[in-house]
Amino acid sequence: MLHEPGNQHIETDKAAAKKAKLGVKMFIIYTLVYAGFVFIGLTKPEWMGLRALGEQNLAIVYGFGLIILAIIMGFIYNYFCTRMEDKLNKH
């Protein structure tokens, strides 16, 4: 194997620009939700101890919510990207 810069032949993907744009939008959505978590932690840390769902406090619900949201958004991103590729690269 040569130690040259990695390069691969990519077939023209007409959906690439739209996928990148969708990625940026979804990133902004996640960042806003994440920023809310950080903001509460910085300014009103006592809120984190409040009960939010059943016996669980806001810190646990929001924290696990962020983890689950990332996974769900990954699935959504994959779904829309696949649909765009199928639609725009048909011919």
Partner 1 sequence: MIYQTSNLAIIIFLFIVGLVLGLSFYFARKTKSAASYYAAGGKIHWFVNGIAFAGDYLSAASFLGICGMIAYSGYDGFLYSIGYLAGWVVALFLVAEPLRKLGKFTFTDALDSKFNSKSIKLAASISTLIVSIFYLIPQMVGAGDLVVPLLGLPHWTGVVIVGTIVIFIVAQPV
Report the interface residues with partner 1, using CB under 8 A: 1-2, 4-10, 13, 16, 19-20, 23-24, 26-27, 30, 34, 37, 41, 48, 59-60, 63, 66-67, 70-71, 73-74, 77, 81
State in angstroms the smallest separation of the CB of 26 from partner 1. 5
Judged by beta carbon, residue 7 or residue 43, the one nearer partner 1 is 7
Cα pseudo-dihedral 53, 28, 22, 6, rounded to 10: -110
State in angstroms the smallest separation of the CB of 83 from partner 1. 15
Name the token pair of 12: 């023209």
Q: Max CA-CA distance within the chain?
A: 58
51 phi/psi in degrees, rounded to 5: -70, 130
